[in-house]
Amino acid sequence: MEGQEGLVLNDTGERMLPTQKGEVSLVYSRHRFAYEYVAKYVEGKSVLDVGCGAGYGCQLLSQTARQVVGVDQNASAIDYCRHNFNADNIEYICMDGNKLEFEQKFDIVVTFQVIEHFHDVSAFIEQLKNAVAPGGMLLISTPNVRQPEPETSENPFHFSEMNYAQFNEALSKHLNNFRIVGVGYASPNRLRQALAKSPLYKLGRFLNRGSRLKK
């Protein structure tokens, strides 16, 4: 995916890339909505975004936050963030989410559509919890999977997909005060179900958004 200054970030499917001019992506809209929802809590505060991906979320939060730090384990992604979604109050750092090393604590820690990428969910939550300042807030989003099967996700980058009950159990082991909000399952769409059985539909999962076959 080419950025505003020509820097390319490969569309591997591991992280969400922002839409380009004239492009529409419902999946991207869902990812962006999480940041838009959190924006009302960050005014004047320090924010840590773990698994910041392409950086569009950090830039959105930086409009009202005092400080935003975005971390991602991929050096190319961090370069893309710095070139395309930077601001005076944003710092991007290449860092493993399993090894968060900061001297400071953050008022708000966010990690959206990232926790399912880790084998050890418990260890990751503990890392996030330790990064939050006393009285601060931790916000996590993850897909709500109907019947998760360990190590068999259609997404090769997902290792710990969870349903509501499993997510609730994982959080309860580390957090005393939390609540889960989200969007319920949509009613089955018969046309989509029929198309999903088509070999061409399945092939589309392996094409990146820039592919001419998807346009």
pLDDT, tens digit, 9 for 90 and up, residues 150-182: 555 565 555 567 778 888 888 899 988 888 887
CA distances from 127 to 27, 99, 110, 151 (A): 27, 7, 12, 23
- Residue 55 near residue 85 (C-beta atoms within 8 A): yes
pLDDT at 182: 74
- Look up the CATH superfamily of 26-188: Vaccinia Virus protein VP39 (3.40.50.150)
Residue 199 pLDDT class (50, 70, 90 cuts): low
Predicted confidence (pLDDT) at residue 55 exceeds the cutoff of 80: yes
Mean pLDDT in the chain?
78
Predicted confidence (pLDDT) at residue 44 exceeds the cutoff of 90: yes
Residue 202 pLDDT class (50, 70, 90 cuts): low
Residue 4 pLDDT class (50, 70, 90 cuts): very low
Residue 190 pLDDT class (50, 70, 90 cuts): low
Residue 161: name the closest of 151, 169, 171 by CA.
Answer: 151
Higher pLDDT, 72 or 156: 72
Widest pairwise Cα distance in the chain: 53
pLDDT tens figures, 75-89: 989 999 999 999 999
Distance CA(156)–CA(77), nearest Å, equals 18
pLDDT at 30: 74
pLDDT tens figures, 107-122: 999 999 888 767 788 8
What is the secondary structure of the chain as a DSSP string?
Answer: -B-TTS-B----SSSPPPPPTT---HHHHHHHHHHHHHGGG-TT-EEEEET-TTSHHHHHHHTT-SEEEEEES-HHHHHHHHHHS--TTEEEEE--TTS---SS-EEEEEEES-GGG-S-HHHHHHHHHHHEEEEEEEEEE--B-SS--TT--SSTT-S--B-HHHHHHHHHTT-SS------PPPPP-HHHHHHHTSHHHHHHTTS-TT-GGG-
pLDDT at 214: 47
Distance CA(28)–CA(33), nearest Å, equals 8
Residue 72 pLDDT class (50, 70, 90 cuts): very high
Q: What is the pTM of this model?
A: 0.74
Total residue length of the chain: 215
Extents of the domains making up the chain: 26-188
